[in-house]
Structure 1
Amino acid sequence: MKSLLLSISKINPLTRSIHFPFQIQRAFSTAKSLPTPPNLIVLEGPQDWAEARKWVLQFKDESIPRSLVELSFSRSSGPGGQNVNKVNTKATARCSASAYWIPLWARAALLKSPQYVSSTKSLLVTSTVFRSQSQNIDDCLAKLHALVLSAASAPIKNETSEETKKRVEGHQKAEKERNKMAKAFRSAVKKSRGKGGWEG
């Protein structure tokens, strides 16, 4: 048991940081998964948009569990006080950019984001907002969630509903008819003026 505990937590004396291996941390986490996105590399039409939108709505209400990221901790920089820079309160969360819960259609945008690390093909976010390590972890997960949600939502186009289309077409047709009648009326007025009045 002692050797197992030592393997879970590795302290680097040079960086004064604590690293929890991804695989070991997952083994001790409560199992929770995120909705699997549809297998769409590019969103090409109404059906794709609808499927992607459905996943986005599901993902929006979820939170990323700690078990799906690799966490590491280090001392926060900046002024001291309340032991902020004396303990490992800075949190860093990393996950593979090809994780099962990240949509394929969102990856092009994610690869261009500042949070993408090309050397490890992963997304990395950090937080030092709070004086609590646990709160900084939650902040990292919230940032990662917002990043993926934004990238996944951007390519989705809002298709006009069939009812709205018909209503717009009806308005356009009515407007065209009114313009036609107005034009005919103006033409008739001009003709009557040219003849000096209406003929009985």
Structure 2
Amino acid sequence: MDLFDGRNDWLAAPGVSLPVSALRFTFSRGGGPGGQNVNKLNTRATLSVPLEALAAAMPADAFERLKTKAGARLTADAIVISAADSRSQLANRRACLSRLRHLLIESLHRPRRRRATRPSRGVIERRLKAKKSQGQRKHERRSNRNPPSD
């Protein structure tokens, strides 16, 4: 059974559908759990997705956020994600796809703009009153402890 079951498009995130032909997997020997197994089998999965396919599949503002969030995974022409968490090649392929999906969902989220606000007059007055009472308390402690010497 293949990971995509013969479908032509993979629903990567809500509203983002990538052609399966754009997802390129390569496999190599990797670390992680497995003991001698990692020295014999190519279980590390590396997923490469061309930037053109991603740009065509998602809104322009989300694509720009994706490029900044991708960080070191971003190359000149693709986003490269690898996984060597499991002894199974299939599990590592799924881990790569899951990481790509998480990255796409994060980039689709449009952050809210922060509106500058000012503290209310009551808040300012309470803060100043608390500061004044704290200073008064310290002043009273000081004057009682060290009487002036003549």
- Tell me if TM exceeds 0.5: yes
Report the CA distance between 1:80 and its aligned residue. 5.5
Task: Work out which of the residue numbers 54, 63, 87 in structure 2 matches 1:107.
Answer: 63
* Residues 94/130 of structure 1: CA separation in 2 closer, same or farther (3 Å cut): same
Give yes or no for the alignment of 1:133 onto 2:89: yes
Q: Secondary structure at the match of 2:81?
A: strand
Determine the structure 1 residue equivalent to 2:43. Answer: 89
Output aligned runs, 1:22-101, within 5 Å: 30-34=6-10, 57-59=14-16, 67-77=21-31, 81=35, 83-99=37-53, 100-101=56-57
Q: CA deviation at 1:108?
A: 1.4
Q: Which amino acid is the alignment partner of residue 69 of structure 1?
A: L
Taking structure 1 as reference, are residues 143 and 126 closer, same or farther at Cα in structure 2, changes over 3 Å only? same
Q: How far apart are the structure 2 equivalents of 1:128 and 1:68?
A: 21
Q: Which runs of 5+ in 1 are unaligned?
A: 1-28, 36-55, 159-200
2:93 and 2:82 map into 1 onto residues whose CA distance is 8
The answer to whether the 8 Å contact 2:9/2:20 transfers is no
Q: 2:29 touches 2:44 (CA, 8 Å); kept in 1?
A: yes
Q: TM-score, normalised by structure 2?
A: 0.57
Aligned residues of 2:33 and 2:87 also touching (Cα < 8 A): no
Of structures 1 and 2, the larger Rg is shown by 1
For structure 1, which segment, 141-150 or 82-91, has the greater mean C-alpha deviation from structure 2 after superposition? 82-91
Partner of 1:150: 106
Q: 1:146 to 1:80 in 2, by over 3 A?
A: closer
Question: What fraction of aligned residue pairs are identical, expressed as a percent?
Answer: 29
Structure 1 runs (4+) deviating above 6 angstroms are: none
